[in-house]
Structure 1
Amino acid sequence: MPRFFGAAALFVLLAVTFAAPAGADSTLQIGIDDDGLMQRNPDTTAPFAAQWQQNGIDQSRLTLVWTRIAPAANSTKMPAGFNPRDPNSPGYNWGDVDRAVAALEAEGIDISILVASPNPYWVSLVPSRRSNSYKPNPKALGDFMYAVATRYKGRVSSYLPMNEPNLWQYITPQYSCSSKSAKSCTLSGAAIYRDLYRSAYSAVKAADPAASVWIGALAPHGRAGTSPTASSPGPRAFFQAMACVKSNYAVDTKSPGCKGYKPLLTDGIAHHPHTVMLAPTQRDPGDAITTANIPALTAIVDRLQSKGRVLNSTAAGAAQKTKHLDVFLDEYGVQTNPPDKLQGLSLKTQDEYYQQVAYMMWKNPRVKLLAFYLWYDEPYTAAKSWAWQSGVFFANGKAKPSGTSFQHPFWVDLPKGSKSATVWGQVRTTDT
């Protein structure tokens, strides 16, 4: 549980540590993801980019929903004359993204771009299914990401191909089964993502060699559904299948696409370590990776790297297998009640968790980014119970306790049975 002490008690602590301000000497960037403010309303883009800069925000991720950018989303055929690799091809709609990139760039905020489904029907390898998630064509994703990286060359520093690719809602099928037996099922979603990622990585590097491409951006939990087609694997199983290794890390040559496997190159590991109704230190059961067990994520990746299945493209030669990959937590949020009565925690608890998790990730040298999702709550109604209420402000602009403490998080780490504590704090403010 969080431990807060009065001023007198602090004088007796035997170990006292204060962190450097975010964006200064600290290697941990603090980010905010809020496309509602950045892309959905022209009146909020520039003012909130300025507000974020004043609050010491280092980084912001923009989500490019494929159907919002590319033309003919509900057609099974790509429009005649449309060139998906050319960002100036008629049909592309870049207006919201252009405005957001310009506003963030003007404030000196580092920008990442995440490409996300729903996808146009014509992007599928089987467009006749009229699905926004079924077997996206790797070439189509590569063409799109080439256009994106060409348009924003030198302005966007990192790219993430596909959002939470281990969820069946975003890539289908996650499992392919030859019979009703679960033993006949293979992790086809990981194989689909493997090909998508390869195409996207090559496309971004061709358009903007200086930009980084991060692999992963997985959801933290697997989700068992009513059938294999409505189920999602956890991060460990997904990463292993993606890299064509078995659960014991022995090489797999029989699963789809694994014969003749070539290593995946990446500049970093992205992950979404949300905890649902749990403290940042409390582990979820099963195959889950949240804030509580980030070392489990790095252990998986390190093992894949040491076996040459995933390589660090920021290094050269043999170091690609030995130079540890950095971790970028590009989405983390805790929802509050009010207003979310289903998955919301108290305002006080969210505030404490946000300060605690900032300390935890600052303490982990592998973690280079902690991005909070969102700044403002999404509007909450009974019809939109799926919306997120993890902002540090309510939808009406009133600050939550986490919004009040955001610029100066503070945490006292007193391990059970210890006579000394670490006192940690940050001052997040503009560098200018």
Structure 2
Amino acid sequence: MSRWCKLLGIAAVACALVAANPVPALASSSEEMVLQDDVELIYVSPAKVATALEELRYLGVDRVRVSVVWGLLAPKPLSSHRPRFDATNPAAYPAHVWDRYDVLVRMAQELGIKIYFEPTAPAPYWATPPLVIQQGYRWSHDPSAREFGEFVQAVGRRYSGGYLARTPANMPTPAQLGIPGGATSNPAGPTPIPRVSEWGIWNEPNIGGWMTPQWRTIQGGQKVEASPAIYRGMLDAAWTALRRSGHGGDTILIGETAAYGANHKGYGASMDPLTFLRALYCVGTSYRPLSGARASELSCPTRGGRRAFVAAHPALFDAPGYAHHPYDFDHPPAVHLRNPNAADLSDLGRIERALDAAFRAYGQRPGIPLYLTEWGYQTNPPNPFIRFTLAQQAAFLNQGEYMAWRDPRVQAFGQFLFVDDSPNRMARRGSRSYWSTFDSGLLFLNGKLKPAYWAFKLPLWLPDPRHGPSVALWADLRSADHAAVQYGQLQFRPAGSQAWQALGQLSTTNSEGFLYTHVALPSPGSVRIGWLDPFGVVEYSRIVAVS
């Protein structure tokens, strides 16, 4: 009996090696795992940030996505009058506002976790015009592209890899972070802040809470798209700003679109992503460049060649990726949305085809990669208004990641929240408003682990979970050291039995730990994967029933 079988303490009917098949051609072999949780990574003490980062490293997270909130860094954000300062200079901002980001970037580098910054709303009031309607969102209302570009340039300069600053107070030392041979004290003087090399530009510009107006009224009372033109200007400014601050070769993502919009048109009524995308690229439903009155309505050029549009908006065509948030809060991952202009995880082809058609309309090469930078499922408990259970969340996370992995254009897959949000305590306890925050975390608010925690750490999915001589199996040894061959053990428990049997050892050399193979499952029962971590502790995937 092998060391594996002894450590796992199971009845070993077989411990033969089952090598994972090479990654299929129609699959992403290097898809990153991204996680976002601003509360746990930005708005807590440095010690708590360190604890969260250490656990995310343990879970195998490659990169953390962080909102860099314009209105929280800018001086006098609630004033309608712009203060006099050089907005492109990081030193012109209040010194303390950078600390939370400096702490995260410095500690993440020590722990080997990459950073993804997203400058976004809320905007300072002085960068937005006065509202012209009674109800609206001042902090997202038609923000100035020029002012946003200057802010992005300041962020880019500070996190270019060469900007000097003192280590924030109370930041744990490398030794306290558990870094082997790490220093027991932080430098006393200024040192370079680590470089950030991946960027998103503005969160969900097709959602009214993040950018307004979404729609505007023209002569005759017709509603036309407004947010795409605003976002186009923001992209132009941010793209230029990042290049000026030394990030021209970085991964700069555009889009960050939400999966679907509202069923009506209005000032803050969210817009479907394909509707937004067509207006952003100034093409009609036939994906031909707009002209005449329709072009004018969308702030698109009414004359001039296609080359001129490409040259004027380089971010639209030169960006290395398009980011999308393919949530579906009402259905399992494989269910298609009926609305042809919406796009959840099962409808990524719609986004891809729309992007390709827009690129071809301007004579550009199609095939821009997708980055799914935000996704997840909320649970009941804790939220009584959510339809999905804890077990369903765990299964859906594995199914969703498998679906994303199968798409070769997907370069990153994002989990939204590590820990559930706190309820809205301004609302009546137990009401829908009270539960209007997100409960998609891997942990409950009190720190208790959800089943999704283990499903996230060691994903397992059987596309067709019926027993037979050749059953497809997909998994991800996410937490393993990907610099060497990694092994997991496939275990089977026949229906009616309490004993697990070893069906074989699984191996992978994939850089992200993915493995895909076919295994023989002799009868109905259950399967799981065991993995021996570096500390000698055996960890398991979720259990998958086999019929």
TM > 0.5: yes
Structure 1 residues 299-308 or 349-358, which shifts more? Answer: 299-308
Shift of residue 215 of structure 1?
0.8
2:207 paired residue among 151, 160, 167:
167
Q: In the alignment, which of 347, 372, 375 is matched to residue 329 of structure 1?
A: 372
The alignment partner of 1:190 has SS state of helix
Cross-structure match for 1:58: 62
In the alignment, structure 1 residue 298 sits paired with structure 2 residue 352: yes
Partner secondary structure for residue 309 of structure 2: coil
Deviations 1:88-111, CA, capped at 9 Å, x for gaps: 114361111111111212111121
| Cα distance in 2, alignment partners of residues 128 and 187 from structure 1 | 17
Q: Counterparts of 1:78 and 1:368 in 2: how far apart (Å)? A: 40
* Count of residue correspondences: 403
Given candidates 102, 107, 110, the residue that maps to 2:111 is 107
Determine if contact 2:74/2:93 at 8 Å carries over to the other structure. no
Q: CA deviation at 1:322?
A: 2.2
Q: Deviations over 1:216-242 (max 9, x none)?
A: 0011101135x6213121011100000
TM-score, normalised relative to structure 2: 0.69
Distance change >3 Å, CA 224–CA 179, structure 1 → 2: farther
In the alignment, which residue of structure 2 is the partner of 1:230? 268
Task: Find the aligned partners of 1:74 and 1:19 in 2 and give their Cα distance.
Answer: 55
Offset of 1:153 from its aligned partner? 1.2
Q: 1:180 to 1:378 in 2, by over 3 A?
A: farther
Please give the secondary structure, in 1, of the residue aligned with 2:400.
Answer: helix
How far apart are the structure 2 equivalents of 1:396 and 1:70?
33
SS in 2 for 1:331: coil
What SS does the corresponding residue of 1:406 show, helix, strand or coil?
Answer: helix
Aligned residue number for residue 258 of structure 1: 300
Post-superposition offset of 1:249: 0.8
The residue correspondences of 1:92-241 to structure 2 (distance < 5 A) are: 93-126=97-130, 131-154=138-161, 155-179=195-219, 181=221, 184-207=222-245, 208-225=247-264, 228-241=266-279
Q: Indicate conservation of the 8 Å contact 1:327/1:366, yes or no.
A: yes
Alpha-carbon spacing, 1:19–1:394, altered in 2? closer, same or farther (3 Å): farther
The two structures, once aligned, show a CA RMSD in angstroms of 2.7
Contact in 1 for aligned 2:118/2:199 (Cα 8 Å) = yes
- Tell me, in whole angstroms, the C-alpha distance in 2 between the residues paired with 1:128 and 1:323: 40
**Post-superposition offset of 1:279:** 0.6
Taking the aligned partners of 2:215 and 2:366, their CA distance within structure 1 comes to 33
What CA distance in whole angstroms lies between the structure 1 residues aligned with 2:275 and 2:477? 39
> Which one-letter code corresponds to 1:84 in the other structure?
A
- Matched residue, 1:393: 443
CA distance in 1, matches of 2:19, 2:462: 9
Change (3 A) 1:302 1:17: farther
Equivalent-residue separation in structure 1 for 2:276 and 2:465 (angstroms): 34
State the distance in 2 between where 1:32 and 1:234 align: 24
1:221-273 per-position Cα deviation (integer Å, ceiling 9, x unaligned): 01135x62131210111000000001111211323321156222312100111
Q: Which runs of 4+ in 1 moved over 6 A?
A: 127-130
1:289 is the counterpart of 2:332: no
Paired position in structure 1 for 2:460: 410
Larger Rg: 2
Q: CA deviation at 1:152?
A: 0.7
CA distance 1:100–1:127, shift in 2 (3 Å): farther
Matched residue type, 2:299? G
1:70 to 67, 70, 74: 74
Name the residue aligned to 1:424.
474
Displacement of 1:308 in angstroms is 2.4
Q: Which runs of 5+ in 2 are unaligned?
A: 1-9, 162-194, 311-315, 428-433, 484-547
For the residues of structure 2 that align with 1:288 and 1:420, how far apart are their CA atoms?
A: 36
Measured against aligned partners, the alpha-carbon deviations of 1:33-77 in whole angstroms (never above 9, x if no partner) come to 111111011131112111111211111101112111111111011
Q: CA deviation at 1:344?
A: 4.8
8 Å Cα contact 1:336/1:344 also seen in 2: yes
What corresponds to 1:313 in structure 2? none
* 1:253-297: CA deviation from partner (whole Å, max 9, x where unpaired): 323321156222312100111111211101122121111111111
Letter in 2 for 1:385: W
> How far apart, CA to CA, are the structure 1 residues paired with 2:65 and 2:223?
35
Deviation of residue 180 (structure 1)? 6.1
Give, as a single letter, the amino acid of the residue that structure 2 aligns with 1:171: M
* Other structure's SS at 2:155 match: helix
CA contact (8 A) 2:278 2:287 kept: yes
Runs of 5+ consecutive residues of structure 1 not aligned to the other structure: 1-6, 310-320
Equivalents in 2 of 1:371, 1:199: separation in Å?
26
Which amino acid letter does the alignment assign opposite residue 457 of structure 2? Q
Considering Cα pairs closer than 8 Å and 6+ residues apart, tell me whether 1 or 2 has the greater RCO: 1
Letter in 2 for 1:301: L
Equivalent-residue separation in structure 1 for 2:285 and 2:93 (angstroms): 47
Q: Determine if contact 1:19/1:426 at 8 Å carries over to the other structure.
A: no
8 Å CA contact 1:336–1:346 kept in 2: the answer is: yes
Amino acid at match of 2:145: P
C-alpha contact (below 8 Å) 2:355/2:366 kept by paired residues: no
Q: Residue 7 of structure 2 aligns with which residue?
A: none
TM-score, reference length from structure 1: 0.87
CA–CA distance in structure 2, aligned partners of residues 346 and 268 of structure 1 = 33
The 1-side partners of 2:418 and 2:387 are apart by 16
* 3-state SS, counterpart of residue 244 of structure 1: coil
Query: What is the SS of the residue equivalent to 1:305?
Result: helix
In structure 2, distance between residues paired with 1:228 and 1:87: 37
Letter paired with 1:53 = R
Provide the residue aligned with 2:165 in structure 1.
none
Change in CA separation of 1:27 and 1:339 when aligned onto 2, cut-off 3 Å: same
* 1:314 counterpart residue number: none
Kindly indicate whether the alpha-carbon contact (under 8 Å) linking 1:84 and 1:143 is maintained by their aligned counterparts in 2. Answer: yes
C-alpha distance in 1, partners of 2:442/2:461? 18
Q: Within 2, Cα distance between the matches of 1:57 and 1:170? A: 27
- Counterpart Cα distance in 1 of 2:38 and 2:387: 21
Secondary structure of 1:322's counterpart equals coil
